[in-house]
Chain A
Amino acid sequence: GQQLNQSPQSMFIQEGEDVSMNCTSSSIFNTWLWYKQDPGEGPVLLIALYKAGELTSNGRLTAQFGITRKDSFLNISASIPSDVGIYFCAGHTTGTASKLTFGTGTRLQVTL
């Protein structure tokens, strides 16, 4: 199945640093979503973006829906140890074939 290209694949950062990751697609999506997955658990929604150009924040997280509707980025400011996990972007296709297409994931590790 189709996957979205997500980068970087993994990153090690120090506590307090800012993090940026992005997601690109060859297809247009109506909605972009960012999820975090901890080991052995299902993904948890962080931010949902509903229209092109939209910039949305959720605490230390900020995400933007690209103007072309084919990309999105997620920023995490002042990272803390509990930010460790895998972050997935997902593009949502609505209509009769409604489904999510997931990115390849960014594994984040935070060192003290």
Chain B
Amino acid sequence: GAVVSQHPSWVICKSGTSVKIECRSLDFQATTMFWYRQFPKQSLMLMATSNEGSKATYEQGVEKDKFLINHASLTLSTLTVTSAHPEDSSFYICSASRGPGIPFGNGTRLTVT
């Protein structure tokens, strides 16, 4: 149990376009989901906390107008990278709050050309 699915697993987009990443909790409901970014050979850095039915909470230094988060249901949160640039290329990972343990998705590799 406690499976988190992320889609797509990888995406390539052109600079200036927007990309949407989905995070779903498959067998449980999650009022809170988390979005992380991981650059090569680095740790996971929390970008924002997604709350169902309310606005996301962004970590310091993360542009909320660039990284749009929508958590419209108890099983789905989306992250949209707007006007993507090459420096946004990274590995984006979501997780869902379900008590201790906090399962993670398998990540989305975003490459902006």
Residues of A within 8 A of B (CB): 1, 3, 31, 33, 35, 40-45, 48, 50, 88, 92, 98-105
Contacts and interface: CB of A to CB of B under 8 A. Distances in A.
B26 interface: no
Given A40-B109, A41-B106, A42-B93, A48 B101 contact: yes
Interface of B: 4, 6, 32, 34, 42-46, 49, 59-61, 91, 93, 95, 97, 100-107, 109
22 contacts: A1-B46, A1-B60, A1-B61, A3-B43, A33-B101, A33-B102, A35-B104, A40-B91, A40-B107, A41-B106, A42-B4, A42-B95, A42-B104, A42-B105, A42-B106, A92-B100, A92-B102, A98-B32, A98-B97, A99-B34, A99-B49, A103-B43
Main secondary structure of the interface of A (DSSP, over half): strand
Contacts of B46: 1, 99-101
B58 to A, nearest CB: 11
Contacts, number: 57
A39 to B, nearest CB: 10
A88 B76 CA distance: 26
